Chains A and B, each alone.
Chain A
């Protein structure tokens, strides 16, 4: 376990804890964005540069902005302090327990991973465009459908 791993874990966990416990909703949303940056740092640490960059690109640039805007546009009491939510604790414990169970049940192979060649963006692109072209197209179709659906939802109705 390297020093950078410890530093990044403390950073990410602190941000995640802040996101779960902060009283103001907007502060929680912003700490969540910080936790996502920590996750991206993990990808960088593991040598998955491309995934890390995409993580920042999509989760900070799009998802965090989306969350923040949703809070802003749907709630009138953004400023209000909220009480403690016990159902949230229950769900969190359930998810955590499920994950721990899944990890414990996994059979780990005690074989050293083969030496990986340096993963370049070019390599990822080639794999996506050849072996995984169908999943890629399906995701593209799904996103296009979502985009058109969103447009239809906000379209002005003509009388």
Chain B
């Protein structure tokens, strides 16, 4: 019973492909890919609509107000109203803008966000596209986003857009390093870049009840936190949203976009968020595995989306809680703290592996991380440097 419920979508796809049983191989492949693509788009665009209204609701709750509650029950149809509004708005292109580049930027940014979603295993046998170097594919596609952001900033021919794009690229390049290096320990321990293999390696339980997820090892927990923070920066979310900083540069690289193009940017940001949280769940939180053996009857995809939802809630929670950081703070944090800690994770994972992956390795890797963390916090302590602020260019 539970097995048939678990594989219901896989069966559904096989049923859809059944009429093509005698068709040539390439036709079946194309049809299969198309089904995957439409399923992916359907699920994540719905999730985007849901997320946009839930985010406003939760932010409203945090800020002690109602949030959207006019359209439909509890304001749940708000995204539909927003969508219609965005579609019928006038699309303004600045006269001095580079028309082609200005048009291509939102297309490229949305395309890369959707591509990155394709390699994540959403449930047992439910990876849309199985690639041997799946993790590498994720980051290769993700690195294209920088060029898209630059195109948006440059194509708008607006100084605020250009400033926003420069800020975005500076922080994205800086945080790509810790983001990728925190993935390294997982890849090292599993010995594969394939997301399916990584999820399969986190199967089973230690002592019969602690799931064998990487987040329950000292190096995994540290890498997970670092990965999560870097993911926040990569998706330009609130504590690190200086590329958009409304109070300083209007909306950064999106200043000159209106109507549906703006909506596309907005969508790409959310899809990127889903991709990065999905990868975090896959790498560190055991992917689609259940946390307790007794709950394994619940379908795997429900577990995956529960983990995704929990991580997304933390994203919204942080947005409601933290103020925006400064540019220099973000950069210092990336190069002086995140990067050394990420390398420490790699070393700690190696120690965990060579100490037999047991309790001894667990404690040793904890010691390594604790020592590195303490040393860094003493070394980077800037409390004594507080002094009256001096201005170089404004007197």
Known: A65-B173, A122-B192. A53 touches B140 (CB 8 A): yes
- Interface size bracket, A side: 20 to 34
Chain B, residues 148-184, CB within 8 Å of chain A (1/0): the string is 0011001000000000000001000100100000000
Contact of B143 among A27, A50, A60, A120 (CB under 8 A): A60
User: B141 near A26 (CB under 8 angstroms)?
Assistant: no
Known: A30-B151, A54-B136. A49 touches B131 (CB 8 A): yes
User: B146 near A56 (CB under 8 angstroms)?
Assistant: no
B353 to chain A, nearest CB (A): 15
Chain A contact residues: over half helix, strand or loop, or mixed?
helix
Query: Can you list 26 A-B pairs, Cβ within 8 angstroms, ordered by A?
Result: A26-B98, A26-B101, A26-B154, A27-B101, A30-B101, A49-B131, A49-B132, A50-B132, A50-B133, A53-B133, A53-B136, A54-B136, A54-B140, A56-B140, A56-B144, A60-B143, A60-B144, A61-B140, A61-B143, A61-B144, A65-B150, A65-B173, A68-B147, A69-B169, A120-B132, A121-B193
Known: A26-B101, A65-B169, A122-B192. A60 touches B136 (CB 8 A): no
Decide if B205 is an interface residue (CB 8 Å cutoff): no
Interface size in chain B (residues, C-beta < 8 A): 24
Hey, which bits of chain B sit against chain A, CB under 8 A? 98, 100-101, 131-133, 136-137, 139-141, 143-144, 146-147, 150-151, 154, 169, 173, 176, 191-193
Contact of B154 among A33, A53, A72 (CB under 8 A): A72
Known: A61-B146, A65-B169, A121-B193. A56 touches B141 (CB 8 A): yes
User: A65 near B136 (CB under 8 angstroms)?
Assistant: no
Contact of B140 among A24, A33, A57, A65 (CB under 8 A): A57
A64: chain B residues at CB < 8 Å are 147
A26: chain B residues at CB < 8 Å are 98, 101, 154
B132: chain A residues at CB < 8 Å are 49-50, 120-121
A64 to B150, CA, bound (A): 11
A121: chain B residues at CB < 8 Å are 132-133, 136, 192-193
Chain A, residues 95-128, CB within 8 Å of chain B (1/0): the string is 0000000000000000000000000111000000
Contact of A56 among B100, B131, B143 (CB under 8 A): B143
